[in-house]
Each structure stands twice: as C-alpha cells, then as structure tokens.
C-alpha cells in the first residue's frame, strides 16, 4: 500500500511541478507588478562578500538579483525594484530600462540593464545599477522604471509622481 501511495504522491508532485514550469513565463497571468522603487547611492563595499575578503575574486550575488548597465563597475546609483511576486515568474532574457531626469540641460537619460538568468525563488527585488555614469540622486527630478522583454515590450512599469 505504501508503494502505491508513494507512486500517486510522486505523480501528483510531477503534475504540479510541470504546471508551474509551463505557466512561469506568462507574466500577465501571474500579475507580476512593480510595487516599489527605492533609490540608493551604493559603493563597491556594499557588494563585497566574505569570500572576496579571503581571496575569491568573483562576485557572488547569493540571494540578490543584481543587474548593472556596466558589469565591470559596482559603485553607482541603484534603483531597487520591488516586485509583488518572485523574480522566477519573469521570463528569461528580460531587461530593466530606467529613464531619469536630473536637469533640463541633460535631458532624459536612458539606461538598460540585463537581468541575469540565474535567479533564486525567494528573491523579489532587483538591484538595477547605473554604474556607467554618476547620477546625483539629490538632483533627481523624475524617473521611470520599465521591465521589458527582448522585443522591447513593456511587461510592467513604475514611475515617480513628477514623471507624469
């Protein structure tokens, strides 16, 4: 009796896992939305792990999803995008596009960061770093954050009040 019970239970788990896997790419079905955006000025030390202090040269994100417009530079302005669901529900090959206005002289600045494909199920935040150029967050007038796919279709977006 326990063998039959084990078989039935394993088949049920297989069906549930298959259903979850097949539905994960559909963002609109799962209603993945940006709930909040926080902006921080983060230095290189904010991303150092204990392994790096002991000689490991490679950065390990652990339970963070980190996307930068210049992968070779860590320090910069980070838009921390908080989602209402796990990041694993987003499709592969997606990007975060950030528009920012710091002054009328500079106009609208545009940045694009590729979200890495290795994602942890418990993560619902994306650290989007603008590391290619300094942005003074004290003078940031307005911003808009979009999560887009490889065809530039907007999956979800959030903007500051002043962007409107």
pLDDT digits (tens, 9 = 90+) for 108-159: 999 999 998 877 778 889 999 999 988 888 888 999 999 999 899 999 999 9
Percent of the chain exceeding pLDDT 70 equals 79
Domain span including residue 14: 1-27
The residue assigned the tokens 């210049």 is 70
Tell me, yes or no, whether 141 and 97 share the same domain. yes
Tell me, yes or no, whether 17 and 35 share the same domain. no
Tell me, yes or no, whether 70 and 146 share the same domain. yes
pTM, full prediction: 0.76
Tell me, yes or no, whether 54 and 20 share the same domain. no
Q: How many independent structural domains does the chain possess?
A: 2
Tell me, yes or no, whether 47 and 70 share the same domain. yes
Cβ proximity of 144 and 163 under 8 Å: yes
pLDDT of residue 1: 54
Tell me, yes or no, whether 75 and 129 share the same domain. yes
């Amino acid at each position: 009796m326990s063998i039959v019970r084990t078989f039935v239970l394993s088949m049920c788990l297989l069906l549930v896992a298959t259903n979850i896997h097949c539905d994960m790419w559909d963002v609109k079905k799962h209603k993945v939305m940006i709930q909040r955006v926080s902006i921080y000025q983060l230095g290189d030390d904010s991303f150092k792990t204990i392994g790096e202090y002991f000689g490991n040269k490679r950065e390990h994100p652990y339970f963070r999803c980190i996307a930068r417009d210049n992968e070779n530079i860590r320090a910069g302005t980070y838009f921390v995008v908080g989602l209402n669901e796990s990041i694993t529900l987003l499709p592969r090959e997606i990007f975060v596009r950030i528009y920012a206005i710091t002054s009328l002289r500079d106009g609208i600045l545009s940045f694009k960061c590729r979200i890495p494909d290795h994602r942890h199920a418990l993560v619902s935040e994306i650290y989007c770093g603008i590391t290619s150029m300094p942005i003074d967050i004290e003078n940031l007038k307005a911003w808009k954050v979009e999560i887009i796919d490889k065809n530039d279709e907007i999956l979800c977006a959030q903007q500051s009040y002043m962007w409107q």
